[in-house]
Structure 1
Amino acid sequence: METKQIAKILKAPAPHMVGDGFRVHNFFPGGYEIDMSPFFLMDYGSKIDFSARKEPRGVGVHPHRGFETVTIAYHGSVAHHDSTGNSGVIYPGDVQWMTAASGILHKEYHEESYSLKGGPFQMVQLWVNLPAKDKMSKPKYQAIKQSEMAHFDLTDQGGKIEVIAGKYNGIAGSASTFTPIELYNARLNEGGKATFNFPEKYNTGFMVIEGKVKIGDREIASADHFVYFGNTGEHIVLEALSKSIVLILSGEPINEPIVQYGPFLMNTQAEITQAIEDYNQGRFGYIEE
């Protein structure tokens, strides 16, 4: 089986704040011009210490339409509410998979007990595009607790692969997706090895959350770097040079036009205009600030 070649190893772009609670490095589409469809956006919140605060930091009410947000917690905890009545808390290791689709209002902020204590905070948020036929489907929400997450134990106490979506070595993740997506957390002990096989046409990237890893025979990537693969070959070998966490992303591209305007991700400008009108007319529901 042919090895999938690395196209680039990308360092974290300069950070910016989203609201007052999320300091993020936007790897794509803003930081680097790389094609990761069906993943449209990746904001990586590298580890930072927030001071204790009585009033939780966060992001106020904002709309979404035409895609899904996937939030993966590594340190800290986030509470959220949306206009369909869903709410919850994402603790370290948990995943929130929110399908905005036809449109919702949403807010997210540091969970109260974390905010009162402060401490390390580290997250990833992905925007997953939806195919045109599903963009106006009904919103939904999937809460994936780490304690309930399917995983595959590697040999020789090498660690484990947590399967969020897709399937690894016969172990299926619980997240339902609209297009084929493989999304895992590789939690590797020093010396641990894992192999991955993704179709050649899938867009693939590895986000190194913690530690240092070797990919293939010689390429080294350390924490806060994104490994972007080309669309040749299928086979990848990952080895941890120290205790590491790597977010694995791979998916079948959605080959449709994209028009983005702020929190709306549609196929045509007319659909963006309609989204703005629907939002202004209150058709996304209501949520308290």
Structure 2
Amino acid sequence: METKQISKILKAPAPHMVGDDFRVHNFFPKGYKIDMNPFFLMDYGSKIEFSARKEPRGVGVHPHRGFETVTIAYHGAVAHHDSAGNSGVIYSGDVQWMTAASGILHKEYHEEAYSLAGGPFQMIQLWVNLPAKDKMSKPKYQAIKQADMASFNLPENGGKIEIIAGNYQNIQGNASTFTPIELYNARLNKGGKADFNFSANFNTGFIVIEGNIQINNTEIVSADNFIYFKNEGTEISIKALENSVVLILSGEPINEPITQYGPFLMNTEEEINEAISDYNQGKFGYLEE
């Protein structure tokens, strides 16, 4: 078995605000020109303290088409509503997987009780591209609570791997996906070790959410850094030098052209124009502000 070597270790880019509740570091596609396809975008909200507030901060009603948004909560709570009639709250450890596909409107706000109390906030949002044949499929919503999440306990009290999507040690993750995707939270105790095996051609990256880890018995990587791997080799090992949380991303690339315009992710300029027209004509449904 050949080790999958590190290509780059990337520091968090300067943050910017999305709405008034998400202070995020965009690792890709704007922060760094790396190929993480089928993951098109990763906004990382590093840990921040929000003060108490009566009016919840948030991102108002906006459209999406052609991809999925995956929101992973580490601290804080976010309430979601969309034009397909889905709603829910994700708390620490939970995941919200929204398939926009043919078109949806949604809004995201700090959950009311969390907003009134304030406190730490830390989350990640991924945009997962869809293949052309699935871009106009029906929108759907998967709410994955941490308590229900598939997991594998590591030996010697090393911690656990939460399997959001994909398969780890023959345990299948909760989320259904359109293309092969491996998405896990590795929650490691100090000294805990975990091994991973991904296809050589899969685009693979890890982000350290908390703690300090060693990769492949060589590089030491601390919190808020992204590890981008080469598309060769299959084996990766990590060891926690302190209690650590690591988000693991690996996926089979979708080898199709991508055209992006704001919240639309399609294959051609023509499809983007159609998305804009459909949105303006109200074909994405209705959602109250």
- Shorter-chain TM range is over 0.9
Deviations 1:38-85 (A, max 9, x none): 000000000000000000001000000000000000000000100000
Q: Tell me, what secondary structure is at the counterpart of 2:156?
A: helix
* C-alpha distance in 1 between matches for 2:207 and 2:256: 25
Counterpart amino acid of 1:205? G
Correspondence for 1:90: 90
Q: Which amino acid aligns with 1:61?
A: V
After superposition, residues 105-120 of structure 1 pair within 5 angstroms as 105-120=105-120
Partner of 1:19: 19
Structure 1 match to 2:189? 189
TM-score, length of structure 2 as denominator length: 1.00
Q: What is the CA–CA distance in structure 2 between the aligned matches of 1:86 and 1:194, rounded to whole Å?
A: 36
Give the unaligned 5+ runs of structure 2. none
The alignment-based identity, stated in percent, is 80
1:224 aligns with 224
Q: How far off is 1:92 after superposition?
A: 0.4
Q: Which amino acid aligns with 2:132?
A: A
For the aligned residues, what is the CA RMSD?
0.3
2:254 aligned partner: 254
Residue in 2 that maps onto 1:140: 140
For 1:59 and 1:221, locate their aligned partners in 2 and report how far apart those are by CA, in whole Å: 32
Task: Give the partner amino acid of 1:262.
Answer: G
| Per-residue deviation, 1:217 | 1.8
TM-score under structure 1 length normalisation: 1.00
Q: Residue type of the partner of 1:160? A: K
Unaligned runs of 5+ in 1: none
Counterpart position of 2:177: 177
> Using the alignment, how far apart are the partners of 1:80 and 1:144 within structure 2?
13
The separation in 2 between residues aligned to 1:94 and 1:146, in whole angstroms, is 5
Q: How many residues are treated as equivalent by the alignment? A: 289
Q: Alpha-carbon deviation of 1:94? A: 0.2
The CA deviation string for residues 3-47 of structure 1, in whole angstroms up to 9 with x for no partner, is 000000000000000000000000000000000000000000000
Whole-Å separation in 2 of the counterparts to 1:68 and 1:250 = 16
**What is the CA-CA distance between 1:214 and the residue it aligns to?**
0.1
Q: Is the 8 A contact 2:28 2:34 kept in 1?
A: yes
Structure-1 separation of matches of 2:190 and 2:61: 42
Separation in 1, partners of 2:92, 2:230: 31
How does 1:116-135 map onto structure 2 within 5 Å?
116-135=116-135
The Cα shift of 1:174 comes to 1.1
Letter in 1 for 2:225: H
Pairwise CA distance, 1:117: 0.3
**Residue 67 (1) aligns with residue 67 (2):** yes
Distance in 1 separating the partners of 2:42 and 2:74: 15
Q: Displacement, 1:185?
A: 0.1
After TM superposition, the runs of 4+ consecutive aligned structure 1 residues lying more than 6 A away are none
Secondary structure, aligned partner of 2:30: coil
Q: Which amino acid is 2:120 matched to?
A: P
2:47 paired with 1:47 = yes
